[in-house]
Amino acid sequence: MAIVEAEILSIKQKFGIIGNAPMLNHAVRVAMQVAPTDMSVLITGESGSGKESFSKIIHSLSHRKHGQFIAINCGSIPEGTIDSELFGHEKGSFTGAHEARKGYFEVTNGGTIFLDEIGEMPLGTQARLLRVLEYGEFIKVGSSKVQKTDVRVVAATNVNLINRVSEGRFREDLYYRLNSVPIFVPPLREREKDVELLFRKFATDFAEKYKVKPISLAEDAKAILLKYRFPGNIRQLKNLVEQISVLSSDHKEIDGATLSGFLPKDQTLPSIVNSKNGSDISEREILYKVLFDLKKDVTDVKRMVLEIFADPTQAHQILKNNTHLFEGMQEPKLQDQPVVISQSAMPVEAEEEIQDIAHEAEDESLSIQKKEKELIVRALTKNKNRRKNAARDLGISERTLYRKIKEYDLES
């Protein structure tokens, strides 16, 4: 079925999708083409790029449009309760199960389920989901009775699921079952002039909401806006326009200097993006990785020195095994005669220093865990044990926080 441009425009207007970038229009076209079928769809794209809108397009244009549509964020449901949420449970199946409960796959029979952040789903739950996709059946928690359901699954992720598969964190069979039809939602920085259209739309909306003059951009401000990478995509742009609309209501036209004052100053660490799968690494994650990698290298060097002093006859082989620590520097000449270090000639101060290095190397990994635990405790205390708010402050998913709380025995 050929999809004409007028139909694409109509769908974009209906679902509030602003922009004319070719990659965006292609994503809309694929969603419209696959909607009448019952095929599973995997939507990929960075966080904040608007993936949920495409799941709604698919549902509204399908024969299930009169059925129920439920959107579920897999990353926000604790690992211990996600099976119950999705598939239901029987009374007494676990502590707190005072009565039987229907899961989303039962109540949405005949409709569509949108599983956002599918990459955060636990492996055990993935096996249950695969059974639903392949046989249309599931079993409630605490039950042995097989139940049937007719639900279409649309999934979305902002991570590279192929990498998750290779790491053993996502089932390969489930990935290919979900990825029957892939849809890639492009990030805002790859949508050319769409950022200006979205800015004007948000400016008009917030002008009406706050009863202020609608803002516009001067030419120098437009140039700055188009160069900015927007790691938070449409969500970040919307928040930016709202701030400017409220705080600069006396200025109808925003110049470059004013706009720059509202943009984050930490753009020296750019977002790393894989445009093929839409995955990204936030600036904070880059900084953490750099620091942890640096700390690991320092620890490795300390251990290498310790090994050499412990067995000087193996110095040549030890250096050869650790050539990765000398990347970017002149490599040690491993072809020369083996390094020989005389322990008898070693000063007492050097022996004491080596002992200190050994103890420090042993404690190195524990220090990171200690800091992580302290951060989690502080976030929970600040938010009065509200895990959703604490997870937001920490920049992690609620399910990850739930796992960390169990790991560090912080439940009370």
What is the pLDDT at residue 4? Answer: 79
Q: Phi and psi (nearest 5°) for 402?
A: -60, -40
What is the pLDDT at residue 273? Answer: 43
Domain ranges of the chain: 5-186, 192-262
Q: Which residues contact 28 (CB under 8 A, 6 or more apart)?
A: 8, 11, 12, 17, 54, 57
**How high is the mean pLDDT in each 10-residue block of the chain (412 residues)?**
82 95 96 96 95 96 96 93 94 86 96 96 96 96 95 96 95 95 95 93 93 92 93 94 86 89 67 42 48 60 69 67 56 48 50 57 59 83 83 79 83 68
What is the pLDDT at residue 33? Answer: 96
d(CA 179, CA 182): 6
Q: Which two tokens stand for residue 31?
A: 């969603």
Q: In angstroms, how far is the first alpha carbon of the chain from the final one?
A: 58
Determine the topology of domain 5-186 in CATH: Rossmann fold (3.40.50)
Determine the topology of domain 192-262 in CATH: Helicase, Ruva Protein; domain 3 (1.10.8)
